[in-house]
Structure 1
Amino acid sequence: MEIKWEVVAETFGITPAAIIAGRLKAEGLPVRVWQEGAGQALGLTVGALGTGYVAVPEEYVEQALGLLDEEVEIDPEDWQEESDYD
């Protein structure tokens, strides 16, 4: 059976797309990331050739979009103090 992949995010360049994919992978979702070949070869990050794409199998689309819509609360207590690195 062929897997049908659906784009769940479009970004300016491959780097933000890879970050989004990492978030989805951390939740156990299968993910593919790509950028238009010409844009990647030329190092473009804007316009149609610079677009980065994040896709998941169609059965994961709802879950992926839900994860990407979540607001992440950052607790300052979770961050280490600079002195922790000495």
Structure 2
Amino acid sequence: MPENWKIVHITNGLAKANVIKGRLKAEGIDVRLQYEAIAKIMGLTADGLGEVKILVKEKDFDTAKKIIN
């Protein structure tokens, strides 16, 4: 049965997203980052460019939310 992934947080910039990802992974939570490739290349953060969605497995959502907040 495939795992369902949920967006737990949206942030601007890959650097900030990677800090959050590292914190969640340190707690044993699998994490995926979803972002537009052009934003990574250009470093843009306007009009949704540079926006990074942080996804976790549905079973880890509540724990991840508490860690982020």
> TM-score band, normalised by the shorter chain?
0.7 to 0.9
Name whichever structure is richer in strand by fraction: 2
Deviation at 1:38, TM superposition (A): 2.3
Question: Normalising to structure 2: TM-score of the pair?
Answer: 0.86
Question: How does 1:1-86 map onto structure 2 within 5 Å?
Answer: 1-69=1-69
Tell me the matched-pair count: 69
Larger radius of gyration: 1
Q: Secondary structure at the match of 2:28?
A: coil
Alpha-carbon distance in structure 1 between the residues aligned to 2:41 and 2:67:
31
Unaligned runs of 5+ in 1: 70-86
RMSD: 1.3
| 1:3 partner amino acid | E
Instruction: Give runs of ≥4 in structure 1 deviating > 4 Å.
Output: none
Question: Normalising to structure 1: TM-score of the pair?
Answer: 0.71
Name whichever structure is richer in helix by fraction: 1
1:28–1:7 distance in 2 versus 1, CA, 3 Å: same
Question: What is the aligned-residue identity percentage?
Answer: 36
